[in-house]
A and B are shown apart, each in its own frame.
Chain A
Amino acid sequence: MQQRRSLDQAYTNRKLLNGQLDTPKWWAPTVIVLGILVLIGIGVISVMINKGLGVTGLSRPVFWGLFITTFVFWVGISHAGIMISAILRLTQAEWRRPVTRAAELLTVFSLLTALVFPLIHAGRPWRIAYWIMPYDFGRGIYPNIRSPLIMDPVAIGTYLTGSTLFLYVALLPDLANLRDRTKGWRNSLYTVLALGWRGNPRQWKMQTVGGILLSALMLPIFVSVHSIVSWDFAVVPAVEGWHSTIFAPYFVIGAVHSGVSAVVTMMALMRWLWKWDDFIRPEHFDALARLLIVVATGWLGFTFLELIFALYGQDAPEIALREMQMFTWPWNMLFIIFFLTAYLIPVPMWLFKRVRTNIALMFWTSILVNIGMWLERFLIIVPGLARRTPFVYTWDSYRPSAVEWTIFIWSFAWVTFLMLLFSKFFPLVPLFEQKESQVFTDDVMIGRAKVPAVLREAD
């Protein structure tokens, strides 16, 4: 059943600009608390850079631990934006409208956060310069440009640039709206950012065409980013459990699962915090949950294939690794939590419309998914390394240190902090999309039934 209400433009402006034109009471204390957490995180990172990676739990043979897991996790979260925004825009899904901005924003901020992890993981971040510089100028020793480790930052950088542009193009009409409602320095800021937007037919046409073109261009980048991240692992035959052809689509679909769930979390928070009940409605959660059921089940299929073909080879070390992952403490506990939270608890719940339209339940189940998806990455990365070339004196496994956990928590505080700062200056729900939705949707009578309808371009 459609829950759409007729909303006039003045009401839409007033409600959706309430974050920019007024300041909600909870905003300042929350930003201060998050700011403190961010500062603590930056302090810990500085200490780690000063002291070296010895303060982490990383040690032979596990040199990729919590940082790389969290890097993959945030790259995964970043897949929400393009999945929601570009694909749903191209397929003209009407329910996408209130979701797009938040999703695009999550992409940009999570990518910015993801990039920090390989940087600090290097131990001495200034050595990242060797990524493009020769190791030795005199002898001209260059890094291997065919390595996925080189292609990673290229792909992520392209994705970040494209996503920012995508976000900005969609923001233009709303920036003009803010320009016309503010005074002083804010007016000057919005005037510059709005690029002279007046909303004439030519500008609208260019904005629409730009959006569609960017959507189409961003899709291959979106797929390539996590594929390249997956190839960091998959092209290495030396580590058990990594050398699998399925990793690229498996990582991408996992990222979509994780990213769309993060959007659900964010949508629920936006509805509660800014009281946008008229704009973010249960029908939107319903649609997102249906999408998640499909994505999660596809992901489960890939998980099954990954597992079955790991065993298919019947190689003793590979089987031993899987036994360790599933039956040896503490990996077995993590494996059970991963499987329960990523699929077995949320998906059966989403089969019921009551759950799909219950925002609190959607909020908590979406958080569960991301706990599971983080664990999935951890279970892919660490156990394989832990079994690699064990020495006689390797008698303990990898255990993340307090420094690593603090930086991990910092990443969440940092993304939330950036989101809240953004919300102070720019609307989190696109106003023009809401208004367009009012024009493009209607109810029509078919027989005696009132049926929701949408307007589409004719043949």
Chain B
Amino acid sequence: MASEAVAQGHEAEHHALPAQVAPDVVARELVATTMGASGRFKAIAWTLGVLSIAGIVALVLKWLDQSDDSTRWGYVAALLSFLLSVAGGAPMVAMAPVMAKANWVRPVTRIAAMFSFASIVTIITLIPLVAILPPLVTEGARRRTIWFEAPDYSPHIWSIVGLVLLLITGIGLFYSAAIPDFASMRDHSMGWRQRWGKKFARGWVGTDSQWRTLRMRIGMFGTFYFLILVFVNFLITTDFGQSMVPGWRDAIFPMYHSISSFQAGVAAIVIALWAARRYMHLEKYVHVDAFWSLGRLLFALTLLWVYFFYSSFIVFWYGRSATDISTLNLLIRGPMMYAFIAAIILIWFVPWWILIWNKVRRSVNGMAIGAAVILVGVLIDRIRIFVPAWSVPPDQIHEKWLTKIPGTVYPDIFDILIMAGGISLAVLIILLMTRVIPVLSVWQVQEFNLLSKPIKYVRGQATMIAKPD
């Protein structure tokens, strides 16, 4: 029987295969990564900190200077959308393969869940935009929105509620999966980390009942997170994008934004994983297999992005009604044409040519380059969409379609500092989180080792992966 042959092969050749790391060694080594900080780490953290403060100051100054002119806030809206995409999308990307019982994703889940904390920056960005967003009824006329006859400030309230819920659920997802690791910190570290570990582990000893509850919580938070993420994407894209432009009716746009969000999330995870592997020396735990699988996912999402974009474009382009033409003129052919070309190249064309090669997907650095290109592309795409949308003068908001296409709005010094500061603050939060809890989930890595065994198969090597129900 094949299984016996596999077993015999396994017995005979086991010494030739890579040794697996013992569970207690995994716990000790990963907990040790939280302690101490290198000079490089401190330098990066300080730089990010300074940029973050500069960004917050710029946001306050912009508010004092330009709060009466909504057309100047497009870049902040683009930043909001970009942060929502990355910080919101990353945790979901890690959850989906878990639900599909993919073993490769285990070392990736913690780093993905850490992105939830970056949603704090998304909320900070939202605050001035909510204040500037026009109510549903202005000068007695109700504009087109998804809220129909709802109270005038519905988008303002629900976008805040949605984002706060996303943050809370994201942190809940992070925490529910981190409890066994807090217990590891309690058992393997010292000082404040040990005290925090004891406090947050909440008496975790790993009984059957505790494991059952843990898995149930992860499943519940994961499901809620997904639903809230889709809801928030829907709200932000329509209230802070489509409804700002008269005549822009694009049913696919929320889904386009969500797909792009998952793409940006995976790209961000790849870069974070690459950095963790390289600078924390985690090669033993972060295998090429994880990059390979993330590469396939990223490639699929890249193709999906272009499909969603084209599905929308072809209908506008072929329809040729006045609303179709004005929408194309604003978002594609008009003030942001070069940004559109750059976005297409960076989100689709370059990554497609990079990621199509299996050799690249199976390499750590190649994947990081592909992911970085995508992230830049997504940022440009958000600018391409939200800056023109916000540049429409509020007095035109009730028109049937856009009769006069506004000119290109270039970023001022505030916009540049806010964008740099917002992204820096998000990165800084994730960086600081790596000092609080291991960047790789200890129990997930232990489980990964337990469930996958390298074996000798015929003349090659294979992995036997157990799939518990």
- Interface positions of A (Cβ within 8 A of B): 1, 6, 220, 223, 227, 231, 234-237, 243-249, 301-302, 305-306, 308-314, 438-439, 442-444, 446, 449, 451-459
Contact = CB atoms under 8 A, between A and B. Distances in A.
B321 A237 contact: yes
29 contacts: A231-B315, A234-B315, A235-B314, A235-B319, A236-B319, A237-B319, A237-B321, A245-B311, A246-B255, A248-B311, A249-B307, A302-B255, A305-B251, A308-B146, A309-B251, A310-B251, A312-B144, A439-B2, A443-B3, A444-B464, A451-B451, A452-B466, A453-B464, A454-B467, A455-B455, A455-B465, A457-B462, A458-B460, A458-B462
Given A246-B255, A248-B314, A457-B462, 17 more contacts: A227-B307, A231-B315, A235-B314, A235-B315, A245-B315, A249-B255, A305-B254, A309-B249, A311-B148, A312-B249, A314-B144, A442-B3, A446-B468, A451-B468, A454-B464, A456-B463, A459-B289
B465 A456 contact: yes
A457 B104 CA distance: 13
Contact of A456 (B303, B319, B462): B462
B461 A458 contact: yes
B192 interface: no
Contact of A313 (B230, B249, B314, B465): B249
A458 B454 contact: yes
Interface string B223-251: 00000001000100010000000000111
Interface in B377-397: none
A159 B116 CA distance: 42
A453 B465 contact: yes
Contacts of B254: 305
A341 B380 CA distance: 43
Interface of B: 1-3, 6, 144-146, 148, 230, 234, 238, 249-255, 287-289, 292, 303, 307-308, 311-312, 314-316, 318-321, 324, 362, 450-451, 453-455, 457, 460-469
Contacts of B454: 458
Contacts of A236: 319
Nearest to B4: A442
Residue of A231, A310, A452, A456 with highest tally of chain B CB at under 10 A:
A456
B463 A444 contact: no
Nearest to B287: A459
Contacts of B144: 312-314
B290 to A, nearest CB: 10
A458 B453 CA distance: 10
Nearest to B314: A231
A434 B289 CA distance: 27
B250 A446 contact: no
Contact of A231 (B253, B308, B318, B467): B318
Contact of B252 (A231, A246, A455, A457): A246
Nearest to B145: A312
Given A237-B321, A311-B148, A245 B250 contact: yes
Contacts of A438: 2
Contacts of B469: 1
Contact of B466 (A234, A237, A439, A451): A451
B249 A301 contact: no
A458 B463 contact: yes
Nearest to A8: B1
Contacts of B249: 309, 312-313
Contacts of A459: 287-289, 292, 362, 463
Nearest to B253: A245
Residue of A220, A223, A235, A302 with highest tally of chain B CB at under 10 A:
A235
A245 B464 contact: no
A211 to B, nearest CB: 16
A235 B318 contact: yes
Nearest to B324: A237
Nearest to A230: B311
Contacts of A444: 453, 464, 466
Contact of A453 (B1, B234, B312, B466): B466
A362 to B, nearest CB: 19
Contacts of B461: 458
B437 to A, nearest CB: 26
A456 B324 CA distance: 49
Contacts of B314: 231, 235, 248
A247 B315 contact: yes
Contacts of B324: 237
Contacts of A314: 144, 148
Contact of B464 (A223, A247, A313, A442): A442
A457 B362 CA distance: 13
Contact of A244 (B251, B288, B320): B251
B8 to A, nearest CB: 13
B199 to A, nearest CB: 30
Contact of A446 (B315, B450, B462): B450
A235 B318 CA distance: 6
B449 to A, nearest CB: 11
Contacts of B455: 455
A302 B255 CA distance: 9
A331 B463 CA distance: 56
Nearest to B6: A442
Contacts of B289: 459
Given A246-B252, A309-B251, A453 B467 contact: yes
Nearest to B464: A453
Nearest to B259: A249
A454 B251 contact: no
Contacts of A442: 2-3, 6, 464
B467 A452 contact: yes
Residue of B311, B314, B319 with highest tally of chain A CB at under 10 A:
B311
B6 A245 contact: no
A349 B262 CA distance: 30
Nearest to B292: A459
Contacts of B148: 311, 314
B310 to A, nearest CB: 8
B229 to A, nearest CB: 12
A1 B465 CA distance: 16
Contact of A220 (B250, B288, B303, B462): B303
A255 to B, nearest CB: 14
B327 to A, nearest CB: 10
Contact of A245 (B303, B316, B466): B316
Nearest to B291: A459
Nearest to A301: B230
Contacts of B6: 442, 455
Contacts of A305: 234, 251-252, 254-255
A224 B64 CA distance: 50
B450 A245 contact: no
Contacts of A308: 146, 251
Q: Which 10 A-B pairs have the closest CB atoms?
A: A309-B251, A246-B251, A248-B311, A235-B318, A439-B2, A245-B312, A458-B461, A442-B3, A453-B466, A245-B252
Contacts of B318: 231, 235
Residue of B3, B292, B362, B469 with highest tally of chain A CB at under 10 A:
B3
A227 B318 CA distance: 14
B15 to A, nearest CB: 16
A306 B255 CA distance: 11
A223 B462 contact: no
Contacts of A446: 450-451, 466, 468
B56 to A, nearest CB: 35
Nearest to B467: A452
